[in-house]
Structure 1
Amino acid sequence: MATGHSQKCCEELVAAGAIDTLLRLIQTVSRSIPDQEVLKHALSTLRNLARYPHLLQVLIQSRGSVQIIVLELLRNKNEGYFVASELLRKVCSTRTGVEAILKSPALLKRLYGLVVDHKRKGIYEKRNHRAPNLVIKENRERRLKEAAEIVKLITSA
């Protein structure tokens, strides 16, 4: 909560090595409900740190950070998807962030695959005669929009 309000707090956390600790934590959590809450808070803290350009650069330069964030976006089905998406958009808003993703063609390919998968599911829903739950449909459309925006940021840089 403090990272959402104070730049000084964010700088102190980064100086104490919080980015590496949070990235390790993200990699070690399971898919249990309590761990998913921890994951969401870890991603939110990274997102808050990334609001400041100099701290965003530290995050991007941290070993494996971009890959970890992309993989969380790909595997997360809950609210963490949107937090990871917002964080990845911030990363892709900088030249160094885009370069970090472009260094790994596999990550870019997986992001393209995510967009294609969401589009395919949307087409399937339209063809299916039974109307899907409105919340599920809106959620899927929002996921598609987020993923497409990230790919657009990467390819237009």
Structure 2
Amino acid sequence: MATEHSQRCCEELAAAGAIDKLLTLIRSVSRSIPDQEVLKHALSSLRNLARYPHLLDLLIQSNGSLQTILWELLRNKEDSYFIASELLMKISSTPKGVESLRKLPALVKRLHALVEELTRKAIYEKRNGRAASAVIKENRERRLKEAAGILKLITSA
């Protein structure tokens, strides 16, 4: 909560080494429900830190940060997906972030495969008139839109 409201709090946390600690925490969580809640809060803290350009640069420069965030986007389907997506959009909005993400071709390729899979599912639903619930359909469309947006930022120019 503090990182959501205070730039000074974010700067203090970053100075104390919170970015590396949060990344380590993210890498160590399991798929259990309590751990997924911890993951969501850790990603939210990183997202809040990334609102400030100088802290965003620190995040981009942190060892393994982009791999960790991109991996969480690829493996999650719930709230953590959208938080990781926001974080990657923020990172992709800077030239330094795009350059760093382009240095991860295997993960960018997996992101491309995710976009293709979500597109294929959307087309299949439309063609067959398959009755997916509105929430599932909306969630899938939102996931597709965000993943495609990130991929476009990374691959353009």
- Match of 1:57, as an amino acid? D
Q: Quote the RMSD (CA, aligned, Å).
A: 0.9
- Match of 1:88, as an amino acid? L
Q: How many residues align?
A: 157
Matches within 5 A, 1:1-157: 1-157=1-157
Q: Percent identity of the aligned residues?
A: 73
TM-score under structure 1 length normalisation: 0.97
Moved more, 57-66 or 124-133: 124-133
Give the Å deviation of 1:156: 2.1
Q: C-alpha offsets along residues 54-103 of structure 1, whole Å, 9 cap, x if unaligned?
A: 00000000000000000000001110000000000001111111111111
Secondary structure of the structure 2 residue equivalent to 1:21: helix
TM-score under structure 2 length normalisation: 0.97
Structure 1: distance between partners of 2:54 and 2:108? 25
Give the Å deviation of 1:114: 1.0
| Aligned structure 1 segments of 4 or more residues deviating by more than 2 angstroms | 127-130
Moved more, 6-15 or 105-114: 105-114
